[in-house]
Structure 1
Amino acid sequence: MQDAQHWQQQAQHCYQQGDYRQAAQYYEQAIEAAPQEKAYYWQYGLMLLCAGEVAEAQTAWLMAMLEGNPQQVEQWNLELIRHLEEAAQYHTQQAQYSLAQTLRQQIQEINPTDINNLLHLLQLAIHHKTYTGSEIAEWEMPELLTATPSPSINFDLLLATLSQVLQYAPLSPSSLDFAQASLPHIPPQQTFSTLTVLVNAATEIGHFRRRSDIAAKLIEIALQLAPNNADLVNLLAQFYQNSEQYEKGIEKARQYTTLVESLPDRVFASLGLLRALMNTGGHWQEAFSHFQEHQTLLQSLIEHPPETLTTVQVSILYQAYFFAPYFQDTPQTNRYYHNQIAQLCQANAAQLHQELYDKFQQNHKDRHLSRKNKKKLKIGYISYCFKSHSVGWLARWLIQHHNREEFELYGYLITATEVEDDLTKWYIQQFDYLYQSKHFLQLAEAIHNDEIDILIELDSLTVDTTCRVISYQPAPLQITWLGWDASGVPTIDYYLADQYVLPENAEQYYQEKIIRLPQSYVAVDGFEVGVPTLRREDLNIEPDAVLFFSAQKGYKRHIDTIRLQLQIIKAVPTSYFIIKGVADAEQVKATFHQLAEEVGLDQNRLRFLDTDPTEMIHRANLSLMDVVLDTYPYNGATTTLETLWVGVPLVTQVGEQFSARNSYTMLMNAGVEEGIAWTDEEYIKWGIKLGTNAALRQQVTQKLRESRKTAPLWNGRQFTREVEQAYWQIWNKYLVDS
């Protein structure tokens, strides 16, 4: 026996040194010295397994068990599994993951229902990036989780595995099955940590991977743990809306309003319900009524601001008055609320991270002298939209045409993934330096550490992360351009506009200083146009009919403008109205049919289309249309540019606010004044005139085609030079004033 123990000690020494074959030889000698000691057989096979001799290891174990009865064999299998488990844990600690995986695969062969071992195997497969998403179903893990008593499951291991599965393969149906099957094993004291895993995964899946349908299912699972959790209900409302489950979204948005108490949370809940109603494109009357209530809540918040706001409240309140321009063309009122709310958020944002804010301000002062006499500026661009998005399509020309001898370009992408799509890849190649993150503090630190001279944000109020970054003023000069309208955030210095898109008195109600570029506030060199997929016969429309067209999201379709559009269709014989956009299709149809009945228009003259698979196909199908009818008080922007680029006449109504003047400035900078209306009556008249006068339509189309050669709207290079000149002007002013 002493000889056997000697050989065992020698074997273990070799094992720890990684000499598995020599260790196996020592165990052979230990077996010869003590053949009755089964543990030596298990260790002998284990050494062979570690040496890569799988068949030999299995044969060694099998031979040791041949003489046993069923009860002994069962006991020996348990002993063998214990040895394999200890070895797997040891090799995992040693970061020898491939060997640990081999050992656990052997455990799986012996006991395929060992749920804890399967959890380890999932983690190892994810670590090796060999996980396909099918293993959960193949190993029947949901069924095993259901059948296994909770005390037998290592909960920490279960939760860690669930987190990794949702990060690595969040779109796999088996991931949802795994999450659902895990619920019964969650002890009450671990509810919060489990919710954190589910919510983090859902947020990334919904917001960054753009699969809100799967994100909604994850939150449905989370709600089983906390049915009345207000934050979960609110998230679910958002994901329902984003995945076009509109009525469910409204239901959850209503529920959320009943679960919150503080005034800031009531404001946000009210905004959520407003968003849910607006997104359908068909709940206009209720949305308008609720907007009045929402505005009253906001006024209360402004008059009675809380002493402190949480980080989450600060983030969400930036967008508290987001939908106002869709309801009313009252820029003085709208800007008042935007500015007041932004100031409230700013005060609390700085307070929440006072040291960071103070550090940035002090460093701007310290770096001031080193910034003088610079011949090359560091320009930072931050956005969530450097991808196939309206902002992404429009901003690319400025980035492409920048003078790299005078400007270093830094891109700050708000994203959780490395690459979004082909347009993201293009942007990544264009920037001299790139930083990607979804965390506002990380982004702010990166901008500050890069010593950016001028930071341009492209998202405005559409992305709360951008607002949070901007609020800490990581760059000494900060500008808003393109994304929506000015945010009102006090740390924004300038707002890029032009002579048309803002009226002359706009300076009175914007907190930002307005830079009016010489011609247009945006310009593109053009758009890629695909192959049309739509024909008149597909719509059951005769060849000589006049096709009016509108393609917008549901919340741009103000009910008063729809009435004007339908009056135009009624007044133009043999005309049809083609309606397309993201919204609740049935609600949109119901709204248009009801209003058509009110104005006496035959519903058969309305056609409703699904959105096109790509932007290029949408642009190609635009050429089928005769006249595009713009929305008001929120005009098209990218949709207007696309319309003008393919040469289709446009009718737009001009207002006072930025969003009611987008199409106006684009038409003027394309050299076309036909279709510009200043009143409801003019809007109708232009629609009828263009609809009934084919020669006039052809004249406008010809103008638009000729404009490609000379118009400022289609000259991205000239636009870039004008923007760069503005950058130098504000930079030199900053040096003088500082």
Structure 2
Amino acid sequence: MEEKQLSDSINLARQLFLEGNYVESKRLCLEILTKRPEDLNILYLLGQISWELGSKEEAVSYFIKCTELNSHAVGAIRYIGIFFFEKKEYKLAIQSFLSILSHKPDIISYQMLSIIYLLLGLTDESFTYARNACSLDPKNKFLVQQMLINSLFCDKLNCKDIFDLHLEWMDRQVESVTLFRSPQLSSRYLDKKIRIGYLCHDTFKQSVSFFFEPVIKNHDRQRFEIVIYATYPEEDTYAQRLKTYVDFWRNVSSLEEKEIAEIVYQDKIDIFVDVTGHTAPGSNNKLLAFAYKPAPIQMSWLAYPATTGLRTIDYRITDEWADPVGMTEAYHIEKLIRIPQGFLCYQPEEESPEIAGAPCESNSHITFGCFTLQAKITPEVIRVWSSILQSIENSELHLKYKHFQNPDVRSAFLERFTENGIEESRIRFLDFQPLYRDHLACYQHLDIVLDPFPYNGTTSTHEALWMGVPVITLTGNDHRSRVGVSILTRLGLADLIADSIEDYIQIAVSLSKDKERIQELRRTLRLKMLNSPLTRAKEFTTQLEAEYSRLWKAFLETEA
């Protein structure tokens, strides 16, 4: 090929790639490569084409050639990092993204490192990289939500830090948002029912469903009209069941936030409740619909254990134990509404395994455990748990969460335990169980559950107690660190609530020596739960509805 013909061919190959004609673009690139075997641009384009065609191994071979020609080939290194991330080879992915950052700031590298370090339980590092990503693109709502979630796992951030962070970054997100016009109250006065709209991502079977379904199922349909705005695109049997409890179901997963707000406004929703907060991933997160203020009263409840940071959300549903009066108001932009029975209610699995005897009855050692999100098990938590294990001879710790199936994740956690003087043989990772009944059965292998901090477990705590396993929690100064307090207090187990790290360790040591108490709790905890506010769904829903009615009446009186 002559030089001009070669240049034209390169431009054509790029154009074909942009048009999605990958096969013809690749044919042309390979032809060019015979003339220019070390052309960096053609090698990179071939890598991109192979990637789009699904031949990622081949793509990486081209990208590696790019890095051999130019060690600063950021695009190629980024692809290599993503390749290793998708293969869940996290340590190799880290190397790629750190290599890029050694040359220049890079938003994707920051974001990917934040995700990986959270998987590995390095929460402070994860937050730092998330914040770096946001600094490069402060209007990117997905990056901001990732950073805000990551802040909840951090040891180094205090309550005020987390509040200030949420407020600062959510204010930036809504700078250009125009509030909707005022509702037509005349039509609302005539309605016999209060219209409640729930914006929810968790309309599939997972942890939040154990607390959301009992409320939806027990709403008084004579007094309330219920609408669910589902942001999860697919519908499983759980979603089909939820549909039978509500008046209207709208799948809004494909809509933008302003479009959702317009629908909510047109539906004349009186009280609009967010169930998800910042926890829904990527495009499924529609929290900013609340920024348009489509309903007269807007609330946050259930999944997110902190302020949303949105000034247009009026209230947050909680209780006196998770948010004691005078303690946490300063950390919320929302006004706190405390439900007397507690801020949530648990619906146990119908086909739960039978209670088995505590393993310490036949073993010569105590088995501790934690089956919650690995990101909650921070380096500080590992340090404290290691002190407990060192204080109790031959004791073991069983960890269970889906990400622990990954060798790099297990290795990272084991390394931190060994740094704290605990042999690897005393830490066991249990297999992921796709069937929920089998998952619950794994609690039969535990004597005591250790609640992480500062971000407590919620579903995992209820599961453990339901299976007869006592849970020890450490109290903090905000909602995320007081969920354990709320649960255990309502169950009459305040003696398992620690006020300090020293107290937390002492309670664990004392309980481990009291085999009779462990066995007694094993036999009685399930019945205790059934007779406690934790599972009284009808009573909880009635109290929640009373607050809805009170707030709606007050609003009408104010607007009259």
Q: TM-score, normalised by structure 2?
A: 0.80
Aligned to 1:327: 154
1:412 counterpart (218, 224, 229):
229
Deviation at 1:623, TM superposition (A): 2.3
Distance 2:335 2:62 in 1: 46
Distance 2:394 2:127 in 1: 38
Aligned to 1:429: 244
Q: Is the Cα–Cα contact under 8 Å of residues 130 and 146 in structure 2 kept in the other structure? A: no
The change in CA–CA distance for 1:216 and 1:703 in structure 2 (over 3 A counts) is farther
Distance 1:550 1:316 in 2: 29
The change in CA–CA distance for 1:457 and 1:531 in structure 2 (over 3 A counts) is same
Distance 1:455 1:604 in 2: 50
Aligned amino acid, residue 243 of structure 2 = I
Q: Which moved more, 1:585-594 or 1:651-660?
A: 585-594
Question: C-alpha deviations, 1:415-462, integer Å up to 9, x for none?
Answer: 334x2x222222233322111133224433322221211111111112
Deviation at 1:492, TM superposition (A): 1.1
Q: SS of 1:717's equivalent?
A: helix
Distance 1:233 1:454 in 2: 49
Deviation at 1:660, TM superposition (A): 1.0
Aligned to 2:256: 440
2:318 counterpart (485, 497, 505):
497
Distance 1:216 1:458 in 2: 38
Distance 1:571 1:424 in 2: 47
The change in CA–CA distance for 1:566 and 1:230 in structure 2 (over 3 A counts) is same
Aligned amino acid, residue 648 of structure 1 = V
Aligned to 1:28: none
Matches within 5 A, 1:114-129: none
Deviation at 1:631, TM superposition (A): 0.9
Aligned amino acid, residue 371 of structure 1 = R
Deviation at 1:386, TM superposition (A): 0.8
Aligned to 1:388: 205
Q: Is the Cα–Cα contact under 8 Å of residues 415 and 438 in structure 1 kept in the other structure? A: no
Aligned to 2:91: 247
Q: Percent identity?
A: 22
Q: SS of 2:208's equivalent?
A: helix
From the CA coordinates, give the structure whose radius of gyration is larger. Answer: 1
Distance 1:394 1:229 in 2: 49
The change in CA–CA distance for 1:425 and 1:518 in structure 2 (over 3 A counts) is same
2:26 counterpart (184, 189, 210):
184
Deviation at 1:248, TM superposition (A): 5.1
1:657 aligns with 2:478: yes
Matches within 5 A, 1:514-663: 514-530=336-352, 543-583=363-403, 585-663=406-484
2:330 counterpart (492, 502, 508):
508
Aligned amino acid, residue 247 of structure 1 = K
Q: SS of 2:320's equivalent?
A: coil
Aligned to 1:402: 219
The change in CA–CA distance for 1:314 and 1:288 in structure 2 (over 3 A counts) is closer
Deviation at 1:567, TM superposition (A): 2.2
Q: Which structure carries more helix by proportion?
A: 1
Q: Is the Cα–Cα contact under 8 Å of residues 628 and 650 in structure 1 kept in the other structure? A: yes
2:113 counterpart (273, 276, 279):
273
Question: C-alpha deviations, 1:12-64, integer Å up to 9, x for none?
Answer: xxxxxxxxxxxxxxxxxxxxxxxxxxxxxxxxxxxxxxxxxxxxxxxxxxxxx
Q: Which moved more, 1:489-498 or 1:287-296?
A: 287-296
Aligned amino acid, residue 460 of structure 1 = G
The change in CA–CA distance for 1:289 and 1:245 in structure 2 (over 3 A counts) is closer
Distance 1:649 1:252 in 2: 43
Distance 2:58 2:260 in 1: 28
Q: SS of 2:477's equivalent?
A: coil
Distance 1:706 1:536 in 2: 16
Aligned amino acid, residue 642 of structure 1 = E
Distance 1:514 1:235 in 2: 46
Aligned to 1:288: 124
Deviation at 1:546, TM superposition (A): 2.1
Deviation at 1:394, TM superposition (A): 1.9
Deviation at 1:272, TM superposition (A): 4.1
Q: Is the Cα–Cα contact under 8 Å of residues 271 and 320 in structure 1 kept in the other structure? A: no
The change in CA–CA distance for 1:461 and 1:259 in structure 2 (over 3 A counts) is farther
Aligned to 2:170: 342
Aligned amino acid, residue 687 of structure 1 = A
Aligned amino acid, residue 403 of structure 1 = D
1:727 counterpart (522, 528, 548):
548
Aligned to 2:34: none
Q: Is the Cα–Cα contact under 8 Å of residues 672 and 704 in structure 1 kept in the other structure? A: no
Distance 1:490 1:612 in 2: 41
1:692 counterpart (488, 513, 516):
513
Deviation at 1:289, TM superposition (A): 4.9
Distance 1:219 1:669 in 2: 56
Q: TM-score, normalised by structure 1?
A: 0.62
Aligned to 2:38: none
Aligned amino acid, residue 558 of structure 1 = T
Aligned to 2:503: 682
Aligned amino acid, residue 295 of structure 2 = A
Aligned amino acid, residue 198 of structure 2 = Y
Aligned amino acid, residue 579 of structure 1 = L
Question: C-alpha deviations, 1:673-719, integer Å up to 9, x for none?
Answer: 23211111111111111212111213333452332342111111111
Aligned to 2:8: none
The change in CA–CA distance for 1:734 and 1:258 in structure 2 (over 3 A counts) is farther
Q: SS of 1:545's equivalent?
A: coil
Question: C-alpha deviations, 1:351-388, integer Å up to 9, x for none?
Answer: xxxxxx45xx21x33x1222125320111111221112
Aligned amino acid, residue 422 of structure 1 = T
The change in CA–CA distance for 1:260 and 1:594 in structure 2 (over 3 A counts) is closer
Distance 2:232 2:138 in 1: 25
**How many pairs does the alignment contain?**
516
Deviation at 1:292, TM superposition (A): 5.2
Q: SS of 2:455's equivalent?
A: coil
Aligned to 2:4: none
Distance 2:166 2:56 in 1: 30
Q: Which moved more, 1:548-557 or 1:402-411?
A: 548-557
Structure 2's unaligned 5+ residue stretches are 1-11, 30-40
Q: SS of 1:487's equivalent?
A: coil
Deviation at 1:220, TM superposition (A): 8.0
Aligned to 1:105: none
Aligned to 1:205: none
Deviation at 1:583, TM superposition (A): 3.0
RMSD of aligned C-alpha atoms?
Answer: 4.2
Deviation at 1:219, TM superposition (A): 11
Distance 1:383 1:229 in 2: 42
Q: Is the Cα–Cα contact under 8 Å of residues 369 and 446 in structure 2 kept in the other structure? A: yes
Distance 1:732 1:236 in 2: 58
Structure 1's unaligned 5+ residue stretches are 1-150, 163-179, 203-213, 351-356
Question: C-alpha deviations, 1:77-107, integer Å up to 9, x for none?
Answer: xxxxxxxxxxxxxxxxxxxxxxxxxxxxxxx
Aligned to 1:25: none
Distance 1:528 1:503 in 2: 33
2:271 counterpart (444, 454, 461):
454
1:474 counterpart (279, 289, 294):
294
Aligned amino acid, residue 445 of structure 2 = L
